[in-house]
Structures are given as structure tokens and as C-alpha cells.
Chains A and B, each alone.
Chain A
Amino acid sequence: MIPTIPQSRAFKSIYAGYITLFFIYLAAPLVVVSVFAFNDSLFPSLPWNGFTLDWFFGDTAPRKGLFHEEPILESIGVSVFVALMVTTLSVFVGTCNAFLFERENFPFKNVLYILMLLPLVIPGIILGISILVFSNTIANAVENLIGWDWEILRPGLFLVVLGQFSFITTIATLVISARLRKFDLTLEEAAMNLGASKWHAVRTITLPYLRPAMIGAGLIAFLMSFENFNTTLMLVGSDAPLTITMFDRLREGSTPVLNAVSLFLMIVSGMLALVNVMMQREKQ
């Protein structure tokens, strides 16, 4: 079953047919979501009533388009804010972790490394509820002890950021570590021989070298945060990120404005993916 082994023509065409079917299966949902963003109908379903751009630019209900739909625009803003916070935090901690695990030696290093990987194998919903429970415990303790109501520890954006950060950091650490491992240590030593301090050498030699990995990790972190649902669902307060707003709309049933949002998301994440792929190319 490799090209050098002769196979019957029937087998080959069945195999190729199967692969085609598979890719149709992969593409179908994305294609219909995009196509129905342009259907001139109040529901994202057949029949096809002709082409319209109302679901992007329409400004009167019920034909309100994406760019005039305040709640959706606001939740996109919320998502961007959360994603930027998560990206900054996780790239920073991820970089520290990479230096810690690749450069230092200390007792229980292996145990800590495994603990660092654990967030990836804990279901997102459970990460969410455990952080919800713990922050509630602290908030209640603070209130009982000194009578403050610490609003920040109640469900809301602060907790959403912490919840997403709790597992995205692992991914950032893995991406950045992989590049740091390939770094030639003699470059840093050379800088230090030329009179640079350790920190100076790291800042001028090692960090620029790590930059593609840090940007790559940042892109992945941004995307994972933007698209996260499970963890966010348990921690969200009154300001809902986009995924939560879309979920509520989906359950109620909505106009094709949701398709327009989805298409917009696909384009944005497609561009991020493209940037990421190009960065990978450049690295090699």
C-alpha cells in the first residue's frame, strides 16, 4: 500500500474517492456557514432568496448587520481585551518557564515539569469550576474577615482571563522551550566574554533569537483565548466575550447575522494562521 507496490485500479479509485469524501466532510460546515451569510432571508436556512450584504451592513431591525449590531460588536471588544491580557501574561510566564526548564537545574525539576503539563489534560470545564470555587472561597474569607466585598473575585472578566491563562501558559511554554532548546549557548558566552553582563547578553542575543517563537506562541495564545468556550462559560459575568454571546444567540435561533460574524471570525483566524505559517517558514 505504498506507491511502489502495484495496486488494482479499483482499490486506487476507491481510496481516492474516500479521501475526497473526507475533505468534503471537513469543508461542508464551513462552506455553508459562509454561504448563508449572504442569503436574503431572515433565517440561516434554505430556500435561497438571493444575494445580500445586509447581514454585514444592514442598519435597521430585523435586518441588522454585523457592523451595526451593538451587542456583538461589544462582545468582540471584550474578547479582544481578554485575549490581549491572556496573550501578554502567558507569553511572559511561558518565556520564564522556558528559561527555567531549559537552563536551570534544581531539585524536583521533573516533577515540576509534569505539573506544568497537567493543565493540558484537565478538561476545560473543570479548570473553570475549580477557579470559580477557589476565588469564591477567597472572596468570602475576605468579606468575613475585613468586611470588603471583593468584586474582582466574583465571576467576570478577571476570572475569565485567569481561567484561560491557566492552560494557555502550558502551550506557550512548550512553543518557546522548543526554540530555546536549539539555541547555541556559545553565542551568549561570547557576548559575556566581550564584557556583557548575563542579563545584558540574554536581552541582546537570546531574546531576539526567541522572538519568532514568542510571536508564534502569542498568536496561538490569542486565538485559543478568543475561541475558548468551556472555561469561559463557567467564569463569565455580565460582560460576555463573543463565544458566549454567539452561543446564547445560537440556542435562541438567530438571523444570518451570526453567519456574518462566523465568516468574519474565519477570515481573522485564517489570517492569523497564515502569519503563523509564514513565520515558521522564515525560521527555517
Chain B
Amino acid sequence: MTGHNHFRLGLVLLMAPLLIWLLSLIFIPHIDMLFLSLSEKVAPRVYETGLSNYAAFFNEPLYWNTFARTAVMSILATFLTLLIGFPVSYYIAKMVRGRVRAFLFIMCMIPFWVSELVRTFGWMILLRETGVISSFLVFTGLSEGPVELLYNDVTIMVGLVYTSMLFMVVPLVTTLDSLDDSLVEAGYDLGGNGLRVLRKVIIPHAMPGIVSGCIVVFMLSLGNYLTPVLLGGKDSMWFTEQIYTQFITRFNWEQGAAFGFLLLILSSLIVWGGLKITRQTLSNTMG
């Protein structure tokens, strides 16, 4: 009997940190934020429950335009990251062996050990009007005068793809690695050409990696703040910027909380949908 009690006490002690962490830092704060987003100010220091913060989102074109724009740009960034990263991952997983392979893989990882801030700073130095690329264009005569390459959507895209690349390459290399070479050979032996083998053998096999890479990249792009603000400038119109503005600049926490929730819903839907499509669970994608 004492042994049994002892065991339960041990379990409770072991579980306490987990429960305190999840309840006080994740669960209750999100509930509290939900309540805050549902409260509206009717007079100074007087609040009522209502949906007016969500109504404001749908009635103000600037807000939902920013929201839709953020979503579309994030989808595009995800797609581009996949398109650029796939051949590289394939090269690392299948075309090279041994030391070269390990070296290339580590080279892919290195930029991501460095702060996102530093990477973005690098792009600013490259792309601004007095920057490296602009000077190079003038020097070679390709351009008459300095060109401002910062502060437009293409720049945001370059930055987003750069920042997300690792999270695409790692799962892709892992799944492509598990593809048996003989399957690819069989595809050729059966008369398929390169494109057909790619479509019928390689891509289906890599699907789990493609999906988990895409989910993470989409989520990171959606929640990104640094890249759009620094590379996109004043007109970057990213939804996280709206959240920041409502919270810090305007001190309208109720509105900001509603925006936060909308972003959370969109991001969760995508994660959930992606997992459903590929019949995977959060546990085996993350673990």
C-alpha cells in the first residue's frame, strides 16, 4: 500500500512541472486572450462581451486585405521554397555520397545557426540602393544609376525563402534518403523517362517530407515579423505588424487579441489540414 502511494507521489511530482508549464504559459493565456478579444470597450473602464473586434476586422478592408495578403504571400513563399529546395535535397540525398554529402548538408545548416536578424541584415546590405548588387549593376554598366532593390514584394519573398530553406531541406533529405535506388532504376527499366520517374516514383515517395516541410515553412512565414518589416519597409503590410501595432502602438489590446486569434486559427487550420491530407499525426511529424 505504501509502495503504491509512493509511486503516485512520484508521478505527481514528475507531472507537476509539465502541468504548471502548459497551464500557466500556454493554456490559460490563450483562454484569457480569447476572452479579451471578445470584450469591447463601451465607456472608459467599462467592457461588454461582444464580437465587435472581429466585426472590425471584416468591416475594415485594410485589415482583411493584410490578412489575405499575408496568407497568399506565405503560400507563395512555401511553394517557392519547395521548388528551390527540392533539387538541392535530391542532390544531397541521391547524387553525392560520403564526405561530400555530409559537407553539403552541413553547409545547408550553417546559415540557420546564425540569428535571423543577421541574415536579414545581410540581405539589406546586398539589396539597398548603395548596396552590393546595385553597385555591381552600375559598375558593369547594366544599369545607368543606383537601383533600390529593397522595399518591394520580391525582396520580401527572397528573404522569406532564405529564412525557411532549412525547414524544407532537412525533412526532404530525410525522406529522399529512404528511397531505394533500385526503385528509381526499375522506373527507368520499365521505360520511364526522367520526368515520369520523378512524377510517379520520387515525388510520391517524398510526399511525407514535402508536407511536413511545407507546413513548417508556411507557419514560419505567416508568423514572421522581421523579414517583412526590414526588407519590405513601410508598405510590407504583414499581419503580424498589425498585431504589433494594435498592442504596442495603439494600445488597443482587445483588437490585437482578436487579430492574434485569427492568425492562430489560420495557422492551426493549415497544420491540421496538412496532417489530415497525409494521414500523419503531430506526434510523428515533430518527434
Contacts and interface: CB of A to CB of B under 8 A. Distances in A.
A144 B110 CA distance: 50
Please list the 3 inter-chain residue pairs (A to B) with the smallest Cβ-Cβ separation, ordered nearest first: A29-B122, A123-B223, A134-B29
Contacts of B5: none
Contact of A1 (B198, B248, B283, B286): B198
Interface in B179-202: 181, 184-185, 188, 194, 197-198, 202
A240 to B, nearest CB: 13
A195 to B, nearest CB: 17
A75 interface: no
Contacts of B33: 129-130, 133-134
10 contacts: A4-B185, A29-B121, A32-B125, A96-B18, A106-B15, A118-B282, A165-B25, A169-B21, A251-B229, A265-B115
Interface string B81-110: 000100110110011000000001011111
Interface in A8-48: 15, 18-19, 22-23, 25-33, 36, 43-47
A206 interface: no
Contacts of B130: 43, 45-46
Contacts of B104: 19, 23
A99 B116 contact: no
Nearest to B134: A46
B271 interface: yes
A269 B217 CA distance: 23
B125 A250 contact: no
Nearest to A96: B17
Interface of B: 11, 14-15, 17-18, 21-22, 24-30, 32-33, 36, 84, 87-88, 90-91, 94-95, 104, 106-111, 113-126, 128, 130-132, 135, 162, 165, 181, 184-185, 188, 194, 197-198, 202, 219, 222-226, 229-230, 240, 243-244, 247-248, 253, 256-257, 260, 263-264, 267-268, 271, 282-283, 286-287
Given A120-B286, A166-B26, A32 B122 contact: yes
Given A43-B130, A117-B282, A129-B260, A266 B114 contact: yes
Nearest to A103: B14
Contacts of A266: 114, 118
A234 B117 CA distance: 16
B49 to A, nearest CB: 16
A237 B231 CA distance: 25
B121 A116 contact: no
A247 to B, nearest CB: 6
A127 B29 CA distance: 8
A243 interface: yes
Contacts of A212: none
Interface in A242-271: 243, 246-247, 250-251, 258-259, 262, 265-266, 269-270
B122 A15 contact: no
Interface stretch (A51-59, A66-74, A225-233): A225-233
Given A32-B132, A114-B283, A229 B117 contact: yes
Given A125-B240, A130-B26, A131-B29, 4 more contacts: A26-B108, A100-B11, A229-B225, A250-B124
